[in-house]
Amino acid sequence: IILIENCLNDNNDKKADIVIFPILHGVIHGTEIYLKSIYNILAKFLKENREFLGGHDIKQLYNEVKGIVCRFENKYNGKENIKYFKEEMASVKKFIDEIYDRTNNMDFVRYPIDSKKNNHFYVESKENIVVDLETLYIKVISMHKSLEFIHGYYTNIYENFLSIENEYYIDTGDYYF
């Protein structure tokens, strides 16, 4: 966000051309970290001993998070929260889909070639690949708000559960959870 704002405020030196890949890397990696954190919180709450196995595949990770949210909400709350999750995460899903429309290899922001020495889409293209920073900024702000909200929502539920569980244990000396 800071890099995008800096480029939008003054790009006379064409710094956006230099920092676009670090910007995209930060957005993709930040999205991945939020999604993994949401997944891990719900996996702990549901006592699922599953780890996310998708590496850096944020599309698969998003689908895993959607699945664990559905399992959690069906067990504890209801379908209305699933609908709300999907609405809240629409900007994240749209960003992920836009990236995957170009490539399914998230290393494109780090290297011009993949592990098999094939050029990434922007190297192969005869056209100049352009990122609209103003549009990206709006998307990143929206995604950040959504991810922060969803992460905070499930973190609060989990922390409240742990607090109640701890109080019960202190009061009774028993641990039934």
Residue 102 has a pLDDT of: 82
Q: Which residues, 6+ apart, have CB-to-CB distance to 6 below 8 Å?
A: 15
pLDDT in 10s for each residue of the chain, 177 residues? 999 999 999 999 999 988 988 898 899 999 999 999 999 999 998 988 876 666 678 999 999 999 999 999 999 887 888 999 999 999 999 999 998 888 777 776 666 666 777 766 665 666 777 779 999 999 999 999 999 999 999 999 999 888 887 776 666 666 554
Biggest distance spanned by C-alpha atoms of the chain: 70
Residue 131 has a pLDDT of: 79
Do the Cβ atoms of 61 and 40 come closer than 8 Å? Answer: no
Three-state secondary structure call for residue 142: helix
Distance of CA 45 to the CA centre of its chain: 19
Residue 139 has a pLDDT of: 95
Residue 14 has a pLDDT of: 92
Residue 126 has a pLDDT of: 66
